[in-house]
Structure formats: C-alpha cells, structure tokens
Structure 1
Amino acid sequence: MQDYGLWAVVTGTTDGIKKALVFELASKGLNLGLIGWNPSKIEATLSELRDRCGATTEVHHIVKTVVADLAKLSGEEIVAAIAGATEGIDVGLLVNNAGMGCPPEYFHEVDRQLTESILRVNVNAAVWVTKGVIDGMLKRKRGAILNMGSGSAMDISSFPLLTLYASTKAFLATFSKSISLEYEGQGIDIQCQAPFFIATKMTKMKSRYLFIPSAEIFSRASVRWIGYDRVCNPYWSHSVQAFVARTLDTITVWGLECYAKWLRAQERSRR
C-alpha cells in the first residue's frame, strides 16, 4: 500500500465498514486523513486507534481529521475541506467510503430531504473529493482511488424499493470505470468495489463467515484488492453471490423485491 504514498484520505470513518477500513489501513503503516460529520464519533475512532497502536503512540501525529457534513456542503466547500485535510501531505490513497442508505420504500415515498442527502453524499461528495486529490496524484504519477459501490448496482439489474441507493452506487461504478480509463498509464489505479451484505448496523445482519462477513473480515479483503480490476467483489463469497445473481437475474430481482417488502413491513411495525 505504501507504494502509492504514505497518506490515505478516507471519507466516512466512524461506523461499520468505514471504521474497519480505517483500522486496516492504519495496520499497513499509512498515515490517515479522516473526514467525517460527527466530531464525537471521530474522537471515538481516534481513541480506539490509540488503544490499538499502543499507549506510547501519539496517534494525532499520524492522523489528521476534518469535520465536514458532506450532505450539506457544496462542491466548492468539499474541495476546501479536502484542502484542509491534505495540506502539507502527499495523498497516495483516497477511499470514498461515505455513503447513505434508506429504508425500503417506493420512490415517491422517500422524504425529499433524505433524497437530497443521499444524492449529495453518495454522488456529489465522491466526485468533488476525487477532484480534490487527483491533481496531486497526477503530478506525482502515482496514487489509488477506491470508490465503495454495491453489488446491488453491479450484479443485479434492478433493486426495487431501494432505487435511490442502488442508482447512486451504479453511478459510482460507471464513474470509476470511466476515469480509470482516462488515467490509465499515469500511475493511478481507480477501482469500485461492489460488496454484497456485510454485518453492520446499516444492514442489521449478524455475521455469517461464508456469506455475510464482518466489517473487519471484509476490510482485510478490500485492502488486498486495491489496484486490481476496475470493478470487483473483493470478498470471495461475494464474488460467488455475484456470479449466481447474474446467472439467475430474474429470480434474484423477484426475491429481492419480496425481501425489500418484508423489510419495509418490519420497519413500519417498529414505528
């Protein structure tokens, strides 16, 4: 990983896969620039990093943090936030990991504010954060960009009742493949990873090692795959699931629609 540079900038750093990736990158010896919206959660992540690195290690010497709510910032404001996070450092790796989901609902039922937030975080932020680091990578002729997509967009033709989420992740896949070709041969590896279910708070699922990895298990696979393929399913069983999903697409979509409706019923019963 250090072949790209000694610093990694990560958006979305405080829960689930996001936090697990931070710890995995730290274990590879990378310095970190962390961008998140919640100061207390960022501090909790830093505290856990201190514990993992050892009591004698001053984590703040190797970690820079920026508090920025990507759901509320304009493109220019995001670029300014990136400038603050990367001032004086050479970014070797960018991980666009900030993302928002939503409960299963028909498109017309999704709250307008939530719609705007999903578009801003999942699409707008990834574009502008990438703009904030790509010039430096081009000057140094090295770097890597990881955009965290979803198997719901890459390996399944449609994802009813989670339309906004899947559509924004499909954008990330096309965005990644296109700019990867633009900068091919200039030392910059650009990749979109498309995982299936992972045991996190967002999925509300328990870890099942073969098919639903923990965030920690997935993060190890994720980091190993950076630099290989423009779009991939880094965890092995997700690759198997992707193959099955593409092969049995019609059945898969029907099953997901039933599952999404069941989730929606569960959500309503809790209200």
Structure 2
Amino acid sequence: MSALAVPKSRHNGTSPRAMVLADFLIATAAVLGFVSLSRNLLAFARWSHAAFLRKPKDLRDYGSWAVVTGATDGVGKALAFELASEGLNLVLVGRNPGKLEAASSELRKRHGETVEVKTVIADFAKLRGEEITAAMAGATEGLDVGLLVNGAGMAYPYARYFHEVDRELMESMLGVNLNAVVWVTKGVIDGMLKKKRGAILNMGSASSMYASAYPLQTLYASTKAFMAMFSRCMSLEYKEQGIDIQCQVPLFIATKMTMLRSRPMLVPSAKMFSRASVRWIGYECQCNPYWSHAVQGFVMHALDAICVWYIKRYMEWMRREGLEQHRHL
C-alpha cells in the first residue's frame, strides 16, 4: 500500500463532502433547536409577566360607564361587580327583570352613591338585530361608555349530537351567542369612535382555541369560534381608532351554565375568574386570563389528538347522564 493512500476504514466509507454535509445538517438542527427553545422561553417570560406582574389598565381612562350583557348570572354578574369595585358606573343588560333589580340593588348597597347603575331588559334569544342596536343606543345615550362586556352566553343543557338540537334551542343559541354580540357592539361602538377611545371584551371559550374539535358541543363551539375571529378582525380595524378589542377564552368556570363546583387549581369560581379577567382588559386581542387555564390550554394544544378523543368520550358520558335526568323530569 502506498504511504500516501488513506485506508477506507478511517472515514467509515464516507467521503469528505458527505461529512461536511452531515456537519452542516447537525449545526443547522442545533441552531433551529436553539431558536425554537428561545422563542418558547420568551413566550413563557412574556406570559408570566402579563399574568402576575403587569400593571392592569385604569379602565376609567376609557370612560366612566361600562355596559355588561348577561349581567345577572355567572361570569357576567361577577365582572359587573368587579368593574364596580374599579369605580365604573354600570349599564346591566339581562332578560330577567327580577334578577336585574336584585343585581342593581346589591351593587347600590355595596357601593352606595359612588357607583351609578342602569338596567336594560333585553331577551337576545327573541329580539331582532335592529331592535338590539336601538335598545343599546337608547340606553347609553348621553353616557360616557368606555367599556363593553359581551358576557351573555348560552350552551346546551347537556351534551348532544347536532341532529338532536331542536329548532328552538338552535335559534336561541345563535341569537344569544352570535346575533347579540354583533348588534350590541354595533349599538355601542359609534360612541367610542366619536371620542377615539374605548374597550370591548368578548367572552369566548377555550373550545375555539386549544382543541381542534369539540364534538357533541358543535353549535356552541362554532359560535365561540366566530366570536374569536370577530374579535381579532375588529381589533385590527379599530386599534388605530383608540379602541382595544379583546376575546378571552377561558376553560371551565364554576357557574350555573357549567354546573361545576369550584376547584381553584382547575375550575375557578366566577369571582376568581373575573378578578383575573379585569387585569387583562385592553391588552392582547386574545388571551386566557386565569393562569391555570392557560397552563391547561398549553397541555391540551400539545396533546390535541388525545384531547379530542377524551372530549368526545367525556361528552358522550355527559349526554347519557343528561338523557337519563331528562327522562325522570
């Protein structure tokens, strides 16, 4: 063998060009991995700051009045009380006159003359769009409305397949979850545009964000997906006009609609959620304000296939339970 000859085994049968290519691919993978890790760490740092350290906005800078729909129960009612504690006057919107009066009396009793309260009776499941807009414009005429909370929402009484949703329930859900959001916003936004400031909070759902499908809750999840897109588009349209529009996408909250008990690490009470919710108003166009919900959402998104499988199985069980209870009514 010549002294200048290189044994083939020394390079394991690979050419210098192949080795250079392999080194390049390894270096590229390392750089991409570092960039991906850095992005995730930066996203986590930004979320941690927003969730625990960022100073909430003074909502009175938007205006002295807030309009809250769905203000007689659940998250809507809890948000109304939280906004009152921030010094905002309130226009409470609901369909039940007795509950509206009870909520306004409780607010006046708690805050005295420091907070003004008006009520608007509106059944979004029955009113047409123009009627909703006219009612909202009339109720807010002459008021410095700075914040609108679209908190009214409706879900199935229990999980069911789409063909099992009767016409009355379907029309009511579309009216409350879709129609009302559009026409209430239409009735309030003109005043915000005139003064070049305002904020709109649309209460969405994690069903439209973290799972690729939400079987046996098809209509509910689809209406919430509309709300998320509606909010994102509106945010881009009106940001330069001084109007901050946000959609919050929580997971389960202990309310009459979900029929769940409060477990702070997983299922916050409406009061607990509302405290977190108010801290995020005016910032990102879409967010999950309760910290444990955000963590749960991250896991759900990472394990999407397993998550959707579990949701379907769980909803099928909920459907059986609901049908059994309905038979005994």
Shift of residue 84 of structure 1? 2.3
Shift of residue 79 of structure 1? 0.7
The equivalences for 1:6-85 within 5 A come to 6-53=64-111, 57-58=112-113, 62-85=116-139
User: C-alpha deviations, 1:133-179, integer Å up to 9, x for none?
Assistant: 11111111100000000001111111000000000000000000001
Task: Please tell me whether the aligned partners of residues 4 and 144 of structure 1 are also in contact (alpha carbons under 8 angstroms).
Answer: yes
Instruction: Find the counterpart in structure 1 of residue 51 from structure 2.
Output: none
Shift of residue 7 of structure 1? 0.4
Please, what TM-score do these two structures have when normalized by structure 1?
Answer: 0.96
Task: Please tell me whether the aligned partners of residues 227 and 247 of structure 2 are also in contact (alpha carbons under 8 angstroms).
Answer: yes
Distance 2:279 2:309 in 1: 33
Instruction: Find the counterpart in structure 2 of residue 87 from structure 1.
Output: 141
Structure of larger gyration radius: 2
Distance 1:160 1:180 in 2: 29
Please, what TM-score do these two structures have when normalized by structure 2?
Answer: 0.80
Task: Please tell me whether the aligned partners of residues 246 and 285 of structure 2 are also in contact (alpha carbons under 8 angstroms).
Answer: yes
Q: Secondary structure at the match of 2:92?
A: strand
Q: 1:117 aligns with which of 168, 172, 187?
A: 172
User: C-alpha deviations, 1:214-259, integer Å up to 9, x for none?
Assistant: 1000000001100111110000011101111110011000101111
Task: Please tell me whether the aligned partners of residues 7 and 33 of structure 1 are also in contact (alpha carbons under 8 angstroms).
Answer: yes
Distance 2:253 2:205 in 1: 11
Instruction: Find the counterpart in structure 1 of residue 16 from structure 2.
Output: none
Shift of residue 58 of structure 1? 4.6
Task: Please tell me whether the aligned partners of residues 34 and 85 of structure 1 are also in contact (alpha carbons under 8 angstroms).
Answer: no
Distance 2:280 2:110 in 1: 24
Q: Secondary structure at the match of 1:228?
A: coil
Q: 2:237 aligns with which of 169, 176, 182?
A: 182
Query: Which structure exhibits the higher relative contact order, with contacts defined as CA atoms closer than 8 Å and separated by 6 or more residues?
Result: 1
| Paired residue type of 2:82 | E
Distance 1:27 1:218 in 2: 15
Instruction: Find the counterpart in structure 2 of residue 203 from structure 1.
Output: 258
Instruction: Find the counterpart in structure 1 of residue 210 from structure 2.
Output: 155
Q: Secondary structure at the match of 2:61?
A: coil
Instruction: Find the counterpart in structure 1 of residue 154 from structure 2.
Output: 100
Instruction: Find the counterpart in structure 1 of residue 17 from structure 2.
Output: none
Number of aligned pairs?
267
Distance 1:16 1:114 in 2: 20
Q: Secondary structure at the match of 2:239?
A: coil
Shift of residue 266 of structure 1? 0.9
Instruction: Find the counterpart in structure 2 of residue 243 from structure 1.
Output: 298
Identity between Structure 1 and Structure 2 (%): 67
| Paired residue type of 2:60 | Q
Unaligned regions of 5+ residues in structure 2, if any? 1-58
Task: Please tell me whether the aligned partners of residues 108 and 117 of structure 2 are also in contact (alpha carbons under 8 angstroms).
Answer: no
Distance 1:35 1:19 in 2: 10
Matched, 1:226 2:281: yes
Distance 1:230 1:156 in 2: 19
| Paired residue type of 1:99 | G
User: C-alpha deviations, 1:35-65, integer Å up to 9, x for none?
Assistant: 1100011111112213322xxx258x71111
Distance 1:116 1:193 in 2: 24
Q: Which has the higher helix share?
A: 2
Q: Secondary structure at the match of 2:201?
A: strand
The 4+ residue runs of structure 1 with deviation greater than 4 A are none
